[in-house]
């Protein structure tokens, strides 16, 4: 069986997307199918978690604590990764415990995550020294993963995504941006191509500070696109769903509505607006996250 906690052993394919319009512009768009690794422990998460899992596996405490909201792909992936690695997992959840848990949190609990719900006002302080000291007192020694893996270790893991495609083949590499950890890893590993990150947040105004905090020395050209967040994090509309459905019809590839659908909508729109020069060979990273679609009403998507 493939060891899901060792990304180096995982085979990943690249699909060329079929689109006559792109072809007529002499542009090729491909997709790195990190979503196919596993339904939940997939996409960028398996990479961002890698070095944290290694640390916890080789520790005596064998315990991970991390953070997230009720729909967090990061929490779901961490819960599953800890389960198969036999690591105890504690999730600090943003917001008071609701009457009905989200699909994501149900999944986390089913996979052995112990949860602690904290008020939104307190959640803002989770990175403070006093908060992390309290975690140590309460739960003992552990490996702490910042929300979304936003850290140098997370970047190192994300940079391993670069081993899954031939850099020289692509003029542009695209990914969605949440915390920007994945984007940071990609701009550190790509050289001759340009990395475009599509922000899914409405106000991603501190990308410079983020990259500085992550201690990045970019080796590629890069650009952050702010035009396709659809109103902000996890916001959606019929235009987005309709794009996801037709994308699925054409390519038989499911996108998630929070991240990858917005990136692909953006890429297609940029092709239409002649952003990419003819001859461009674009690689889009499917960062997974498909479990998030389960929070949508079932009639929205045809897949």
Instruction: List residues near ligand PLP by CB under 6 A.
Output: 43-44, 73-74, 148, 176-183, 256, 259-260, 287-289
d(CA 198, CA 175): 6
The residue at minimum Cβ distance from ligand PLP is 289
Closest separation between CB of residue 208 and ligand PLP, Å? 15
73 vs 190 by CB, closer to ligand PLP: 73
| Cα dihedral: 21, 24, 30, 35 (round 10) | 10
Q: Tell me the DSSP string of 76-104.
A: HHHHHHHHHHT-EEEEEEESPPPSS--HH
Answer for the pair 191, 208: CB distance below 8 angstroms, yes or no.
Answer: no
25 vs 210 by CB, closer to ligand PLP: 210
85 vs 181 by CB, closer to ligand PLP: 181
62 vs 234 by CB, closer to ligand PLP: 234
Closest separation between CB of residue 88 and ligand PLP, Å? 23
Its sign, for the CA torsion 57, 59, 63, 69, is negative
27 vs 188 by CB, closer to ligand PLP: 188
Closest separation between CB of residue 26 and ligand PLP, Å? 29
Closest separation between CB of residue 163 and ligand PLP, Å? 17
Structure tokens at 251: 């390519």
Closest separation between CB of residue 185 and ligand PLP, Å? 8
Sequence-ordered alpha helix ranges (H) in the chain: 20-24, 45-57, 73-85, 103-110, 120-123, 129-139, 152-159, 181-189, 207-213, 238-251, 260-272
């Amino acid at each position: 069986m493939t060891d899901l906690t060792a990304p180096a052993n995982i085979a990943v394919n690249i699909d060329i997307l079929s689109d006559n319009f792109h072809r007529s512009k002499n542009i090729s768009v491909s997709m790195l199918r990190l979503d196919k690794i596993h339904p939940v422990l997939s996409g960028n998460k398996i990479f961002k978690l890698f070095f944290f899992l290694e640390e916890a596996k080789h520790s005596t405490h064998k315990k991970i604590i991390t953070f997230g909201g009720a729909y967090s792909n990061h929490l779901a992936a961490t819960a599953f990764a800890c389960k198969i690695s036999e690591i105890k997992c504690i999730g600090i959840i943003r917001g008071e415990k609701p009457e009905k848990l989200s699909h994501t949190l149900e999944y986390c609990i089913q996979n052995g995550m112990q949860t602690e719900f904290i008020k939104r006002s307190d959640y803002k302080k989770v990175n403070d020294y006093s908060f992390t000291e309290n975690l140590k007192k309460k739960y003992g020694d552990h490996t702490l993963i910042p929300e979304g893996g936003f850290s140098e270790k997370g970047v190192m893991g994300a940079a391993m995504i670069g081993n899954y495609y031939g850099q020289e083949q692509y003029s542009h590499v695209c990914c969605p941006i949440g915390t920007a950890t994945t984007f940071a890893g990609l701009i550190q590993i790509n050289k001759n191509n340009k990395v475009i990150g599509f922000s899914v947040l409405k106000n991603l105004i501190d990308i410079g500070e983020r990259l500085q905090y992550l201690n990045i020395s970019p080796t590629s050209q890069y650009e952050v696109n702010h035009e396709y967040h659809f109103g902000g994090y996890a916001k959606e509309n019929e235009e987005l769903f309709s794009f996801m459905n037709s994308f699925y019809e054409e390519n038989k590839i499911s996108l998630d509505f929070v991240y990858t659908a917005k990136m692909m909508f953006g890429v297609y729109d940029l092709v239409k607006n002649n952003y990419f020069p003819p001859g461009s060979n674009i690689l889009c990273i499917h960062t997974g996250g498909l479990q998030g679609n389960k929070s949508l009403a079932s009639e929205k998507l045809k897949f």
